[in-house]
Amino acid sequence: MSAKPKFAVVLSGCGVYDGTEIHEAVMTLLAIDRQGGSYQCFAPDVGQLHVINHALGAPSDEVRNVLVESARIARGAILPLAHYKPADYDALVFPGGFGAAKNLCTFAVDGPNCSVNPDAEAAIVATHAAKKPIVALCIAPALIAKVLGKVEVTIGNDAATAEALNAMGASHAERSHGETCVDLVNKVVSSPCYMLNATVGQIADGAHAAIAQAIKLM
């Protein structure tokens, strides 16, 4: 591990309904910083599945790019996910939001039969092979389950989503606010965050706990 833990944080757009959940992303970055780490944000340079008007909760006819939209959260300091190398970082982190299940994979549309963005899959496989921690918040454990298969994760307590994870070969563990599921064998840490009806403070608790567990696994 680096003297100052280095985290690669993968974003999937900007906004809960079509990209990264912003509270989860910001609280993750804050948790990293407050626990003595540093971070670099990444996103795949691809088009979004679609664009949602967040004021109306309805689809828009706009076309947006995942990397460009993610740069809003990262204040411009972002790199294409294809540039990610596990050797340069101590852990890989995926905040949630529908973008994780729409842009990083197609779980939101195809369930257990989903496909995975090639850059996201390569990042997960390479990090796992390097035996470095992977953190997944909210719905992002579905992405990890699709890629790694036999892994223990949590998305909270939603029975239908848990069943879909099990169908991909994963094992689901029920967790509540601020709690984590830690798969010691695969070095995967997950926390429910907004998969539960949560306050922003509870999101901060979950992100802090997940990052703390990742540091312990380094």
Rounded to the nearest integer, the mean pLDDT of the chain is 97
Contact 10, 45 (CB under 8 A): no
Task: Give the C-alpha separation, 134 to 193, whole Å.
Answer: 16
Looking at residues 127-146, what average pLDDT do you find? 98
Looking at residues 154-177, what average pLDDT do you find? 97
List the catalytic residues: 138
Residue bearing tokens 């390569």: 122
The pLDDT assigned to 78 comes to 98
Task: Give the C-alpha separation, 161 to 18, whole Å.
Answer: 18
Contact 153, 165 (CB under 8 A): yes
Task: Give the C-alpha separation, 215 to 30, whole Å.
Answer: 15
- The percent of residues above 90 in pLDDT, for the chain, comes to 95
Query: Domains along the chain?
Result: 6-217 (3.40.50.880)
Give the alpha-carbon dihedral of 10, 14, 19, 22, to 10 degrees: 80
Global pTM? 0.97
Neighbours of 199 (CB within 10 A): 10
Per residue in 27-67, pLDDT (tens digit) is 999 999 999 999 999 999 999 989 899 998 888 999 999 99
Task: Give the C-alpha separation, 85 to 65, whole Å.
Answer: 22
- Report which of 139, 138, 148 is spatially closest to residue 188, judged by C-alpha positions: 148
> Residue 1 above 70 pLDDT?
no
pLDDT band at 156 (very low <50, low <70, confident <90, very high): very high
The pLDDT assigned to 2 comes to 64
Structure tokens, 112 = 């257990």
> Residue 137 above 70 pLDDT?
yes
